[in-house]
């Protein structure tokens, strides 16, 4: 399934006195909803509008592979990048720009936690992002499905610029059917009718 996203920097109003430079997909916040079925291969075309000042990218929390796609999509103004990934986990997942200087909470870029246990609580299953408050602790379990370098981040990506970054290095097969740079391979004729 081909998905076209365009990053556009838009100045908008937060209130009567405050404006903000939004990083958008398609000129809107939030960006467009993307609906796919389990087992579909998404071919993502990310174009960064020529009027943009910054490079932009996209991190799909439901995409299993390095950076959730962000390692393949660091895109300068006026350029386009393409990558493909297979949907393997059912659910509703967010996507966002993974270029430095945005803030949020902890996750491993390009994977989903199989299980998360906050403090001594019950395990939560298939979590994409976890808020770990100051003074709290959590344990995480996950089975990696793709080789590569996976960033452990808290979405305050400005900290990465200062060297505060963890990287989980996974050796093994690259599982190109899960994620790879470039267009999707053509699927058998019986599956193409859902595009």
Binding residues for Cu cation, as ranges, are 56, 61, 96-97, 107
Secondary structure (DSSP) of 21-57: EEEEETTBSS-------TT-EEEEEEEE-TT-SS-B-
**Which residues define the annotated binding site?**
56, 61, 96-97, 107
Residue 164 CA to residue 84 CA, distance in Å, equals 29
Q: Which residue has the tokens 């790879």?
A: 180
Secondary structure (DSSP) of 114-147: EEEEETTSPPEEEES-B---TT--EEEE----S-
Q: Please report which helix (H) or strand (E) contains residue 96, including its range.
A: strand 95-96
**Residues 32, 38, 39, 45: what is their CA dihedral angle, to the nearest 10 degrees?**
10
């Amino acid at each position: 399934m081909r998905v076209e996203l365009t990053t556009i920097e838009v100045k908008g109003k937060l209130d009567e006195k405050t404006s903000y430079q939004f990083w958008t997909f398609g000129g809107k916040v939030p960006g467009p909803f993307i609906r796919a079925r389990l087992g579909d291969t998404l071919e993502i075309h990310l174009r960064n509008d020529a009027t943009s000042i910054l490079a932009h990218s996209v991190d799909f929390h439901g995409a299993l592979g390095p950076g959730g796609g962000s390692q393949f999509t660091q895109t300068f103004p006026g350029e386009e990048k393409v990558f493909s990934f297979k949907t393997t986990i059912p659910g509703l997942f967010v996507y966002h720009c993974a270029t430095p200087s945005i803030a949020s909470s902890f996750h491993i870029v390009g994977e989903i936690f199989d299980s998360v246990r906050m403090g001594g609580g019950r395990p939560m299953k298939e979590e994409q992002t976890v808020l770990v408050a100051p003074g709290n602790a959590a344990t995480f379990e996950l089975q990696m499905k793709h080789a590569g370098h996976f960033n452990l981040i808290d979405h305050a990506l400005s900290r990465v610029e200062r060297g505060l970054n963890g990287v989980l290095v996974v050796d093994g097969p690259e599982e190109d059917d899960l994620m790879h740079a470039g267009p999707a391979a053509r699927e058998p004729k019986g599956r193409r009718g859902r595009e």
